[in-house]
Amino acid sequence: MEKVPFDPGIGKFATCFSQDVDFAMSQVLATKSPNQRKFKFQIVYPKIIASFENIIGFYSGCLLWAYYIKNSENCSEKEITGNNFFGQDVKNNDKFDFLYEINYLIAYFEKFEKDTKFFLNKPAQLDEHWLYIANTYKEFLEINKNFTKVKTTKDLQIPKNFTPKASLEQIKLVFDRVLANGQLQEFISSSVK
C-alpha cells in the first residue's frame, strides 16, 4: 500500500495561539494606567493578528492536506504514516486535547472584537472566512476523533461543508511554496471558496 505522511512538514511553522494571546494580553494587563493599556494593546494588536493568520493558515493547511491525500491519485487507499495519535486514549491525556486550542480560538474571535473596540475604538480587522475555517477544523477534529482512529486515507473524513477553492494541482503547488517559505497564511486563500 502506498504511504503518505500525516504532516507534510507544516507543523513546524505553527505556533500555539492560546500561548501567544495569553502572553500578549498579560503585557497589556500588567500596566495599571488605562492609557498605557491602550498603548500596549496597540503594540500587541499586530502580533495577535499575526497569530490568528498563523493558526488559521495551519488549520487551512491541515484541511487542504487531508482533502489532497484523500482525493488525489485515483482516490486509492493509502497508509498514513507519522500519525502519533492513532490508537491513543485522548480522554486521559492532556497533550491530546486539541479541542481546547480550537475552542479557545473560536471564543477569542468575539473577545478580540470587544478588546479592539475598547482599546482602539475601532473594529478588529479579522477576515470573515477565518471563523468558518476554525469551525470547519473543529468539525474535522471531531469527526476524525482527534485522529485516534485514522490509519489510512479511507479512515480520514472531510467535513461535508469543506470544498477547497483550489484544485488538487493548485493545492500541491501551494504546499510546495509554503514548505519553502514557512508562510502558513498562504493556505487560507486556497481553502475558502
Domain count, the chain: 1
Is residue 118 one of the residues assigned to a domain? yes
Is residue 11 one of the residues assigned to a domain? no
- For 119-130, what is each residue's pLDDT tens digit? 999 999 899 899
Q: What domain range is 32 assigned to?
A: 16-85+94-191
Taking the C-alpha atoms of residue 91 and residue 113, their distance in angstroms, rounded to an integer, is: 32
94 has pLDDT over 60? no
Is residue 54 one of the residues assigned to a domain? yes
- For 62-72, what is each residue's pLDDT tens digit? 999 999 999 98
Tell me what the mean pLDDT of segment 14-35 comes to: 94
Is residue 1 one of the residues assigned to a domain? no
Is residue 3 one of the residues assigned to a domain? no
Is residue 169 one of the residues assigned to a domain? yes
Is residue 6 one of the residues assigned to a domain? no
Give the confidence band of 81 by pLDDT, cuts at 50, 70, 90: very high
The pTM of this model reads 0.93
Is residue 9 one of the residues assigned to a domain? no
Alpha carbons within 13 A on the beta-carbon side of 33: 4
Tell me the CA distances in angstroms from 156 to 70, 80, 88, one per residue in order: 7, 9, 16
